[in-house]
Structure 1
Amino acid sequence: MNPERDLTLLDVTLRDGGYVNGHSWTTREAEAIVRTVGAAGVPVVEVGYLREGHEPQRPSAICPPEYLAALAAVADRPRIAVMVRPGEVPIGRVAELPDHDVSMARVLVAGGSVERAAPYAEAARAAGLAVAMNLTRVSERTEEQIATAVRACAEAGAQVVYLADSNGSLDPEAVTARVGAAVAASPVPIGFHPHDNLGLAFINAKAAMAAGATAVDASIAGIGKGGGNLRLEVIVAHLIVRHGAALRLDPIATDQTTLATRLRMLAEGSTKAVLTGLLDLNLDGAADFSDMLAANGYDATILTMSDQ
């Protein structure tokens, strides 16, 4: 098997890109993105987080039934996936997802805590959903820890386990080592979720595939948390040129739905993302880092953090 030729792409524009615009996609914008992804031939689109609450101005933040119904009605759409973070939604809600034409549940495994995520994966499997489990911040885990977590995910019912470079700090050698350890330990396929803090998302995705990963996440224009994600147009073009993949670049290249969010990510700059990538810091817990930048500037902060 050639992992690149047989790669499964999953678009994360709505979910991960929501970190750039505060998950403020309108349902109409979400429909347009799902339509674009489907027209490009990408097989799976992740449309947001499954959460409790009522936020009509931020439907991708909670994936209410009416939002899922609108996306399910898009013609020639990809399969729909949602992200489930343990503790943010009752397990019983997972069983309702097939009623809204959701095909996949992606269960977040934060801090390597497979035990907390396992009941959600088991519920998704029992509901007939495809089940992915996403191991976050793998740059902070050893190869042995990753291998152990991957085996536990498979035992919990995962049909694919993604390694997420949440901090955007991995280089190709580190990706090769971690993905290789996961592939060797896992009875199920391994996926990779790259971030682009250091401009390495594409080459890291290539390294992951060479090490045996058969699924990769990407977003339109790379919009996403921190330094952004692997750019969907880049990996699509690569697969078309190098492997004759049955994908299309035109729908992505001409998409205007994400333009405002792309400009917002550009305006916010990338220097902070580069530093968090180099220092292997997760933005969720980087409040002290941001305070140091505000007080001391970049150079002094680099020196301080490097000495710790």
Structure 2
Amino acid sequence: MSILLDVTLRDGGYVNGHGWTLGEAESIVRTVGLVGVNCAEVGYLRDQHDARRPSASCPPAYLAALAAVAERPALAVMVRPGEVSLDRIAELPHQGVSMARVLVAGGSITRAEPYVAAARAAGLDVAMNLTRVSERSPDEVAAATAACAAAGAHVVYLADSNGSLDSERVSTLVAAAVGASEVPVGFHAHDNLGLAYGNAKAALTAGATAVDASIGGVGKGGGNLRLEVIVAHLIVRHGAKLRFDPIAADRTTLATQLRMLADDTSKSVLTGMLDVNLDGADHFYDLVATQGYDAAVQALTERTRTTAISAATACGAENHLERNTQIHD
């Protein structure tokens, strides 16, 4: 594996409302640097700034402060097309940022291309993140990965946004992406079903060379791959020149970890099992609120099966029904 990227500040920001203080952000960056992590993703890059929530927009002063942290890793920011001007991307190298990660939501590579071009023109490393890959077939993932590479990505990440993949599906999707791409492939796990570690190992075995993780697994939904787990794995199983002590000694994220544990995890488990994205789960939440979990699961399961049957009938392919049933069961 060539890239271990920490997402504590950006993805963990979903847990605490991106309320990291500057001191906390500096401590996290320092910790992952001491561990030996290649890169720390420090937040979303947006034009609209809120001084109380710096990781939500990465204002220049915030980036400059993190760039001044001693023994830090390289810094990365997440770019969502439509939320930031191209001029802002051009300024990033002067603020200590080395990588731009451009979201490819809904497979819209065309929307992402101007941001990729701007980042490359600025001399940044560029990653493109394909979201919700659990909803895509291997052929679709392969085609999207190849298109991202053609658009100028230096690395393409497959994100299990819904937290619904298992190791078999991860292996299939990553292998398809690796086979179609001339650039490295990465994997971004979510832990809704407690499978993030196994899925990350499956991704690496299938040819991925980049993995995301966060301290304590803090992150959206069921959280992310725990940094301490993948670091221990890489040290013990692969002889990686990483350090575990800095994570063990860190206390910066404890409040956020406790907050994540205190939140209702049942929704994360069930949305992961049903392959429902948290950003579009209002219908699921409404069903839970009015009818309870069992009724909500039954309703969505029946809807999924009905959709699969309709699709199979429309194309006259029995194996289509079998494939979709396997994916959602």
TM-score w.r.t. length of structure 2: 0.91
Which structure's relative contact order is higher, taking Cα pairs within 8 Å and 6+ residues apart? 1
Q: 144-153 or 125-134, which moves further after superposition?
A: 144-153
Which among 29, 38, 41 is matched to residue 24 of structure 2? Answer: 29
Which among 59, 74, 85 is matched to residue 79 of structure 1? Answer: 74
Structure 1 residue 236 corresponds to structure 2 residue 231: yes
Query: Higher helix share goes to which structure?
Result: 2
Contact 2:145 2:181 (8 Å CA) reproduced? yes
Q: 283-292 or 57-66, which moves further after superposition?
A: 283-292
Aligned-partner Cα distance in 2 for 1:44–1:293 = 39
- Partner SS state of residue 10, structure 1: strand
Instruction: State the partner residue of 1:103.
Output: 98
The structural deviation recorded for 1:142 is 1.1
Which among 30, 46, 49 is matched to residue 44 of structure 2? Answer: 49
Structure 1 residue 280 corresponds to structure 2 residue 251: no
Instruction: State the partner residue of 2:153.
Output: 158
The structural deviation recorded for 1:207 is 0.5
Aligned-partner Cα distance in 1 for 2:250–2:292 = 37
Instruction: State the partner residue of 1:189.
Output: 184
Aligned-partner Cα distance in 2 for 1:45–1:204 = 21
Aligned-partner Cα distance in 2 for 1:125–1:7 = 20
Which among 15, 20, 23 is matched to residue 20 of structure 1? Answer: 15
Aligned-partner Cα distance in 2 for 1:115–1:150 = 13
AA matched with 2:94: D
AA matched with 2:170: V
The structural deviation recorded for 1:239 is 0.6
AA matched with 2:50: E
Aligned-partner Cα distance in 2 for 1:123–1:153 = 15
What residue ranges of structure 1 are gaps of 5+ in the alignment? 1-5
Instruction: State the partner residue of 2:291.
Output: 296
For 1:213-268, what per-residue CA distance to the aligned partner results, in whole angstroms no more than 9, with x for missing partners?
Answer: 00000000000000000000000001111111111111111211101100000000
Structure number, greater radius of gyration: 2
Structure 1 residue 117 corresponds to structure 2 residue 112: yes
For 1:161-206, what per-residue CA distance to the aligned partner results, in whole angstroms no more than 9, with x for missing partners?
Answer: 0000000000011001100000000000000000000000000001
AA matched with 2:25: A
AA matched with 1:66: A
Structure 1 residue 67 corresponds to structure 2 residue 62: yes
The structural deviation recorded for 1:54 is 2.5
Aligned-partner Cα distance in 1 for 2:300–2:125 = 41
AA matched with 1:11: D
Contact 2:49 2:58 (8 Å CA) reproduced? no
The structural deviation recorded for 1:148 is 1.1
- Partner SS state of residue 188, structure 1: coil
Aligned-partner Cα distance in 1 for 2:84–2:218 = 26
- Partner SS state of residue 292, structure 2: helix
Instruction: State the partner residue of 1:225.
Output: 220
Aligned length: 303
Aligned-partner Cα distance in 1 for 2:34–2:253 = 16
Structure 1 residue 40 corresponds to structure 2 residue 32: no
Cα RMSD (Å): 0.7
